[in-house]
Structure 1
Amino acid sequence: MQSRMKSPVMIVPQVMESLQDLGKALFASAEKNNVPARTLFLCYLRASQINGDSVCVELHSKNAIAAGETETRLFAVAAWRETPYFNEAERAVLALSEAATRINDRINPVPDEVYNEATKHYTEEGLATLITGIATVNLWNRLNVPTKQIVRIPEE
């Protein structure tokens, strides 16, 4: 496997800096608004699974573990509806993450039921953080997938 090119953000370093600043702002907002970092990583992981971004799947899995997530729950993210591992708030945000990622698949991509369920568990600021995070991971996916970025296997 080989990438088509270096990551676009490595070629345009100002974009990398901006995206890193955005990521820092999102996690600061998440902390301020009672959105667990693990929850953001679950959203990032689910969107990256849907989009087929192996780099982000690995990165966000590792980051989720570092934030206290369990391997059992990470293994179940792709089938979250069929497992008992996620609470109602996490289910709401995983549904929102899927809907906001698949905006081209449906006439009504983010149905009121999905959005309204998320509003039951998060403040407006928390929900804004989650939606911006979901949009951000989709941006990363759209940088990595067309350029075929691959996971780097560490040398032994």
Structure 2
Amino acid sequence: MSTTRMPNPAMLINGAIEALMGVNKAIAGTGLDGKLLALSHLRASQINSCSPCVAGGVHQARQHGLTDDQVHAVAAWRETPWFSDEERAALALTEAVTRLADNADAVPDQVWDVAAKYFDQAELAALLLNIAITNAFNRLNVPTRQQAGQW
């Protein structure tokens, strides 16, 4: 793959990166477990093949106490014993919201209802914002070929 096409667009527009980071700060301030936010960020970034966000997600996951087994198995979370039901609900919601165009019913009731069983509306809002901001960063990094480790 070729090198970076241009700097991250959020760095080129005055105030954009600060605004995006402000959303991240607001999400972190909700009190939703950082481990869940890290898992969600890592899984969405894996789906979107965003190398800087995958690398950052691994770092974030370790900071929040995820084990090596968990970090290495995020992409195969359904087939492993290392995730709680709450974590699985967050991962399923993350996948559905990240892959909106893949299904006629983008976020099926079954996925939503399981998530709503574990998270109240404020926590669901934090999780959905986390998925959205992760996807925004992925959609800025991937087309401009941002590289992991080159910040």
Task: State the distance in 1 between where 2:87 and 2:64 align.
Answer: 15
* Residue aligning to 2:88: 91
| Shift, 1:21, TM fit | 0.8
Give the residue type in structure 2 aligned to 1:107: A
Task: State the distance in 2 between where 1:103 and 1:37 align.
Answer: 24
* Residue aligning to 2:11: 10
Verify: 1:100 aligned to 2:97, yes or no: yes
Task: State the distance in 2 between where 1:19 and 1:75 align.
Answer: 27
* Residue aligning to 1:139: 136
- How many residue pairs match? The answer is 150
* Residue aligning to 2:50: 53
Unaligned runs of 5+ in 1: none
Per-residue CA deviation, residues 83-123 of structure 1 (Å, 9 max, x unaligned), is: 00001011011000000000011111100000000000011
Is the alpha carbon distance of 1:153 and 1:133 closer, same or farther for their aligned partners in structure 2, counting shifts above 3 Å?
closer
State the TM-score, normalizing by the size of structure 1. Answer: 0.93
* Residue aligning to 1:41: 38
| Shift, 1:13, TM fit | 3.6
Identity rate of aligned residues, in percent? 43
Instruction: List, as ranges, runs of 4+ consecutive aligned residues in structure 1 with deviation greater than 3 Å.
Output: none
> RMSD across aligned C-alpha pairs, in angstroms?
1.2
Q: Where do 1:67-82 residues align within 5 Å?
A: 67-82=64-79
Per-residue CA deviation, residues 13-58 of structure 1 (Å, 9 max, x unaligned), is: 41100011110000001x1xxx210100100000000000000000
Is the alpha carbon distance of 1:14 and 1:153 closer, same or farther for their aligned partners in structure 2, counting shifts above 3 Å?
closer
Q: Where do 1:121-136 residues align within 5 Å?
A: 121-136=118-133
Unaligned runs of 5+ in 2: none
| Shift, 1:153, TM fit | 6.0
Give the residue type in structure 2 aligned to 1:16: I
